[in-house]
Amino acid sequence: MLVAIDLRCAAMADDAELVAGLRTGDEAAFAALVREHHAAMVRVATSVVGSRAVADEVVQDTWLAVVRGIERFEGRSSLKTWLFHILVNRARTAVGKERRSGTVTAEGLDDRFDAAGAWASPPVPWSDEVDDRLVAERLAPSARRLIDELPDMQRQVVLLRDVEGLPADDVAEMLGLTAGNQRVLLHRARTRVRAGLEAEMDVR
């Protein structure tokens, strides 16, 4: 618990330093932010818009918005969460209002969920069950491929939650989902990826 608190405090200190640098026009601070997040932003944007070329434009637009809007950053979330919130908004705008919202209905849910869509019995994240680091590293390329093959909203949720480590509430807000829908999408994504990995391990 103390370790987690220390890590959060360190992240807040890093955020404060970066924000201060960005507000004074420090190019090194901006370069550090780009180095840390650019590749992940392209990956998430691509998962939303479905096109690498459009995703690149969305990411560039996001960086411009960050530079222009850094004075409005209030620190109520982490800098990373704020950054990805801008990214997702830009990406969703890019695909237009006609794109499906991806909201999950209660239809087809099994007895692991209650009537409100909440967990009746929360699952153990599949990643927690992979104890052998060598096996995990060997399966990483397959996991990335399986994530890329997920339906749009499942892919976006699992990338933001499990790959980028953003909080559940923030991800739900970014994607316009209820907390229950976000949990359902994440569970379905994890289940599909786990099933794919288990199939590959059986083959090997």
- pLDDT score, position 64: 92
Whole-number average pLDDT of the chain: 78
Highest mean pLDDT among 56-65, 101-110, 134-143: 56-65
Residue 130 CA to residue 134 CA, distance in Å, equals: 10
Q: What residue ranges define each of the domains in the chain, with the CATH number in brackets?
A: 2-95 (1.10.1740.10), 126-203 (1.10.10.10)
pLDDT tens for residues 129-153?
A: 444 555 556 777 888 889 999 999 9
At residue 91's C-alpha, the angle toward residues 127 and 57, to 5°, is 110
